[in-house]
Structure 1
């Protein structure tokens, strides 16, 4: 089994945090989004992973590539890097990793996290992972027949046809078949809105009689902008606490400080006259003094003083002093 992860977009809706770090490497509860994503996929497929192929923009740089290869290595497999330097659509992005598209594969977009408890149906030609949603008009959805097979894909339906939204994770029994269908779109210039779309390849495969079935997830968590990313961090912390995962490093230094779980506290964090939590992640090396923080995500080596934060997201090496009013804030930053 191979995992293909298209992640060439920078994530403009999450600026300024993505000006220096690609969105899939933003930490959620102490681990990059893409790390948690491939970990959870590995649990669902429950079989050896031969390779994780990451599709990035070449401008991401060597440090990002090294981080991604290290993530794959931590899961006992090899990581490979491919480039998509033009935003030409989902089908084009996946096809950038065509050299790795052989045998069974999972394609997963690296801006979403999930929780699931189902067995992967490896007899199907494809499994499309879905989540029941209240407002299907905002999503691409699938229609099922009485055999629990997918018979149609509908993009943002104006009238109700299904409430099973496609979350952006797919299994294909044959990577070669998917590769051929994607190549067909490119060769024949099958575009919508100037982009080559994966759904067109899926429709072609369905018309040829291939069997598609849904894989239903219990939780679907987005990381599209600051508010939903902070919320995803909070939800993930609750799941990890329920699973019994140790979230607070033994190296944390506390002076007159309180931690209200669930919280992730990284290595060498210093807390002084501080109340942290619930639902807070503090990255390695962060210092918090004379402050209260809840429902927030703070990355590594930040310094926070005299603050009262709620629903906040603070970047790496940031310094925030709540007593000062003369500030220097970069592009796309928000103070509310």
Structure 2
């Protein structure tokens, strides 16, 4: 199969879909790999490393799309890339199309066979290709939130860990999944007062067992949420419904109850965000203020730590990519139910139920 690796064009997105060692694996399996010039430089990989691994470096992005049967990326294609795709092409990347109708329509209209990292599953019911980015985003949420609590960045001037004789900062984490767990680890490590809200009793029990008295756990309902955000210096939105848009748990009017210059970090922004006032931002202008509350809603948070993120991501995506290339997409999907859960669009049909329900587009199950 002919594989195309293109450079990410999202603002301040430095990750890359394949490392040189990944390219080497494809080549050893008899495949041809085209790499766009400088695709990996943001993550620390030079063109010469890809060439040494057996790739062909190509300057013209359009040529890569024209000649490749499968395109490998990190982030969803942006509107300026739509024209490059051709009918029947395989796209292997993060899609997050539940919150991106124009992208969904392009994929359907061009009959793209799109496999989304974020909906591939495993035997434990987890999302193995989403997990490493969720781990990184959760840790960055506290790191960035702590920074934007500093006065020069518009925050309250609060140090999360406090110092002897001074109260610690209060961190509220909404959602106890992978993002929430990693945010909690960071916040506890900094010495903050931490509260975690989730709808699952078993998940809250897990937090109690792991952190003991270091963390307060609460059932996620409107009463507990409002009570918690009133005292919060930093609120982290870590809600995930796989494939679907996230519910808006904190409304605009709720912000009036929060401390002035407190910070909201919405890690769920890729799926539409879990705060009513959330809108996607970029690393070069990451925050804005609504009702005196600082909002941080960068949609590609892990792109800031591109080397760590690229190594973690490709470690989970390579084997599935190789299966597609070695067997052909249809046979690979037939052989692996977990990979087939990653299929979002196929020959003009929307094949993921949660995505279809979010977009209100008819869903069609496909058997291979």
Taking structure 2 as the reference length, the TM-score comes to 0.30
The higher relative CO (CA closer than 8 Å, separation ≥ 6) is in 2
Report the structure, 1 or 2, having the larger strand content. Answer: 1
Report the structure, 1 or 2, having the larger helix content. Answer: 2
Taking structure 1 as the reference length, the TM-score comes to 0.32
